[in-house]
Structure 1
Amino acid sequence: MEADNNTKSHYTYQAVYRYLLDWIEASPSDVEQRLPSLRQLAQRLNVSVSSTKYAYSLLEDEGRVYARPRHGYFTRASKAPLHGECSPSLLDTVFSSARQPGMLALSSDAPAMLRSLEKPLLMIERELARQYPRSHAPLYQPFGEPELRGVLADRYTRSPQRYWHAEHVFIGSDLRSILELSLRALSLEGQVALVESPCSWAVLRQLLAARMTIVEVPLRADGRFDLEQFRQLLHAQPVRLAVLSSATNVPQGGLMPAEDKQQICRWLAEQDVWLFENDGYGEFCFEASPARYRDFADPDRLLVFSTLDKVIGSEAPYGYLLCRRHIAQLQQLFLERAFRLSPIRQKAIARLYASRRVDQHVQLLRAMLHERMQHMHGLLQLHGQGYLRWGAPQGGASLWLEATRPVEMRRVFQRLLSQRIVIAPGEIFSQQGLWRSHLRLCYTLDWSKDIPQALQRLVKAIQDEAQTP
């Protein structure tokens, strides 16, 4: 009974942690925000003060909040908010609006919303909690639980040349912290980064936080680069880092041919450029065994990063990276950050992978994504009225739409907010303000809502904006 009580307490502080994390991410990032006191939060969530205190201590360790004596806890303002053509207010408004109660977010790219592994994960965790009572639980591992690191290393190993060991894998609290420590360990802060465009807004924000100069290479409608433009940019700019999607491009959903990826990797190796492969949606390509950049990249200039929540669900929010170089620098930074991640939960995740439960789940989830994509495609054909065009994505969880008439999609976004509908304007996926007439439309949304009506309102807002002088 004592072990069960400890387990319940263990889950409680994690729930409080996730509540606070959502609250922080939904708040403006460029100003400090005062957080509820320990007692206020305990009363609000009906939990113990010790649970709220522990959740705050985790966030403090991660650098997300800090305490002022006799004043309470505050969020930390971003040192380098997103700037340029895409204003910070637009991205923050999109993000916070999507999290407000009663909003229909047509921009929520969470594949696990359709099907998650959270129930089996928690079942395994409860079994492990009985085996490892809280008083005898293993100490927190600074680089992640060895069992999970080993499973991930095996999962990414493909050949005697393309291999990974557990010591090459590092696990952190989320994507942001993983990227932050990676850039610092490889001495890439303040350097020039080349990215595909459109690019994940989360990646863009972290690159800017690291004071990096961003060079965008636009993707064509077929999901390919203009290779000559790519080559010229590599020679014209002192690029030290390239961030590219592993399989399908995110959020566009295009699939680059293997020969293009091979050529790009050859050029990156010639220029001694680090390749950061974004594998966040690597499991969700509709084509069997797609070519990935890591199949051709210089393994000594390759870092692969991803998160676990896209596949498993929100109960597995951790980020991870694989890198065969600069191990000592990564270890030092992870030791200093001292992530206090649940060892039992990491073990439970490792068991899901080892039992091949994740493989079965991904296969079913990928089929669901493809089915929902086709359904959304049909709805758009029915209700689009010629105001939108798009290509069929080769994977991922979203459609990349373009207005067929000149229109500022941020103004369409503002029109829809009053109707409690949230879209993601294309310009938040560009630091240079590209893709103003585009938007990302996800099909991992709440399908219990009236989606056809929401699409009709989207098209009507585009039509009204196009007719506005």
Structure 2
Amino acid sequence: MGNNKDSSFSYQAVYRYLVELIETGDSTSEQKLPSLRQLALRLNVSVSTTKYAYSLLEDEGRIYARPKFGYFTKAMQLPRLNEGSPNLLDNVFANARQPGMLALSSDAPAMLLSLESPLLMIERELTRQYPRTHAPLYQPFGEPELRSAIADRYTRSAHCYWQAEHVYVGSDLRSVLELSLEALDLKGSVALVESPCSWAILRQLQAARIRVIELPLGEDGRFNLADLQDLLRREPVGLAVLSSTVNIPQGTLMPAQDKQQICRWLAERDIWLFENDSYGEFCFSPQPPRYRDFADPEKLLVFSTFDKIIGSEAPYGYLLCRRHGLSLHRLFLERAFRLSPIRQKAIAKLFSSRRIDQHLVVLRAMLLDRMQRMRGLLHEYAEGQLRVTAPDGGVTFWIEAVRPVDMRRVFERLLARRIVIAPGEIFSLHGAWRHCLRLSYTVDWSKDIAQALKSLVQAIADEDQRP
């Protein structure tokens, strides 16, 4: 802590210290924590700073105060297998959010490096510039500055261009996708998706009563084009939902010629292309091919979210679409998103100042470094047991057990060790990929990741040997 007792951010360091102290202790029984004065002396901060850090943990329900005795941790029971929702995806996310769990299932790049501090600083500056009114006006499609910044960023040529009027900003990705499917009259239609596929997309398509056809990707990240062509001839596909650069969650990069051919077939059949650009900026190779480079711009919708790059303080989703402007306008007006105007203006500043680009250079380098570090650990502890697809970008490995093992049961075994993985079957609506898992390298690297991987390999071996 040094001698910087007056730092306004000291409480954050104290908070992190306490979280680590709690998580390294015995979580199954109550533990007494240092008193406010003891902790202040230990960390060389003020008592008010330690008190504020304790109050944060108390608000989170992780500790409680016992009058005249001090602060104590709350005992946490080990997660019970199959407790709560029978849905595996719900169980994965519920357990990943529990205190003290090591989530190897994360898919958040901003965990390594976020732009939340610059964003909030810009927001404070803008708050002083824009006087408050008694009745703040909310722009139904997003703040003009932000819509213009997004349009500028996605414009690449006279053919591949966007205007601010083509951009719509919503509260989150789920809402944006829901309104898109309704505006384009795609509810109840047939969708083609790459498989494995983002669970968030699968859930949204399912909610829209859309029949989903999953086309598997090979280990090289490519479709069997003959199978795809045959499928398009047989099935009344209304939309295709595909990752812009690296396939999510597999992490491989499809060649440009394949994407060009796919876009040609989609255009011939008047099929909408929904391009998922949520991880489009996280490819390790420069200038990767994107579907939108080859797609019919009149049958293209691009969607993404800010939080993957900026962090959780920017949860908004957005889309770009040239067609059906009247329908999109009507639905966004009906939904009446009340999004912070100042926060949106601050995000626009991050784009217009090129701060986003500087940040992405550093973040991609960090992701590549963590990927290589995780790959080294996998090679050391899991050689011969796991088949690992080397990612071309993104934030995760796609891994398959060499011998068929049900990863749902491996997930259940690891819960007892407070480790959460993402079994492969949550990335399919049809029960595919049961012997696979998605493993993130955007994890808390202050933890013993090597030991966690040893536990993962041991759980797979134990499950393989189960009678």
Indicate which of 138, 162, 165 corresponds to 2:163: 165
Superposed counterparts of 1:56-205, under 5 Å: 89-135=87-133, 139-205=137-203
Which protein has the larger Cα radius of gyration, Structure 1 or Structure 2?
2
What amino acid is aligned across from residue 303 of structure 1 in structure 2? L
In structure 2, the residue matched to 1:53 is none
Superposed counterparts of 1:239-254, under 5 Å: 239-254=237-252
Q: Any gaps of 5 or more consecutive residues in structure 2?
A: 1-57, 61-84
In structure 2, the residue matched to 1:455 is 453
Shift of 1:424: 0.1
Indicate which of 274, 281, 286 corresponds to 2:272: 274
Distance 2:89 2:132 in 1: 41
Distance 1:295 1:122 in 2: 34
Per residue, is there more helix in 1 or in 2?
A: 1
Task: Pick closer, same or farther for the CA change 1:176–1:88 going to 2, 3 Å.
Answer: farther
In structure 2, the residue matched to 1:83 is none
1:76-117 residue CA offsets vs partner (Å, 9 max, x unmatched): xxxxxxxxxxx9610100011111111000010100010000
Distance 1:88 1:225 in 2: 32
Task: Pick closer, same or farther for the CA change 1:238–1:88 going to 2, 3 Å.
Answer: farther
Superposed counterparts of 1:309-328, under 5 Å: 309-328=307-326
1:161-205 residue CA offsets vs partner (Å, 9 max, x unmatched): 110000000000111000000000000000000000000000000
In structure 1, the residue matched to 2:72 is none
Shift of 1:366: 0.5
| 1:402 partnered with 2:400 | yes
Shift of 1:406: 1.2
In structure 1, the residue matched to 2:205 is 207
Q: Which secondary structure state, in structure 2, belongs to the residue aligned with residue 283 of structure 1?
A: coil
In structure 2, the residue matched to 1:445 is 443
Distance 2:151 2:402 in 1: 45
In structure 1, the residue matched to 2:378 is 380
Shift of 1:45: 5.2
Indicate which of 420, 427, 430 corresponds to 1:422: 420
After TM superposition, the structure 1 stretch with the greater mean CA deviation from structure 2, 435-444 or 135-144, is: 135-144
Shift of 1:386: 1.8
Identity of aligned residues (%): 72
Indicate which of 222, 225, 241 corresponds to 2:223: 225
1:223-261 residue CA offsets vs partner (Å, 9 max, x unmatched): 000001111111111100000000000000110000000
Distance 2:298 2:86 in 1: 35
Shift of 1:134: 2.5
Q: TM-score, normalised by structure 2?
A: 0.81
| 1:351 partnered with 2:349 | yes
In structure 1, the residue matched to 2:78 is none
Shift of 1:385: 4.1
Indicate which of 333, 336, 355 corresponds to 1:335: 333
What amino acid is aligned across from residue 186 of structure 1 in structure 2? L
Task: Pick closer, same or farther for the CA change 1:356–1:136 going to 2, 3 Å.
Answer: farther
Runs of 4+ in 1 over 3 A off after TM superposition: none
In structure 1, the residue matched to 2:365 is 367
Distance 1:176 1:235 in 2: 30
Distance 1:431 1:174 in 2: 22
Distance 2:422 2:274 in 1: 25
Shift of 1:330: 0.2
In structure 2, the residue matched to 1:26 is none
What amino acid is aligned across from residue 392 of structure 2 in structure 1? Q
Q: Any gaps of 5 or more consecutive residues in structure 1?
A: 1-43, 47-86
Shift of 1:387: 1.2
Task: Pick closer, same or farther for the CA change 1:88–1:431 going to 2, 3 Å.
Answer: farther
| 1:255 partnered with 2:261 | no
1:49-83 residue CA offsets vs partner (Å, 9 max, x unmatched): xxxxxxxxxxxxxxxxxxxxxxxxxxxxxxxxxxx
Distance 1:463 1:88 in 2: 25
Cα RMSD for the two superposed structures: 1.2
Shift of 1:138: 5.1
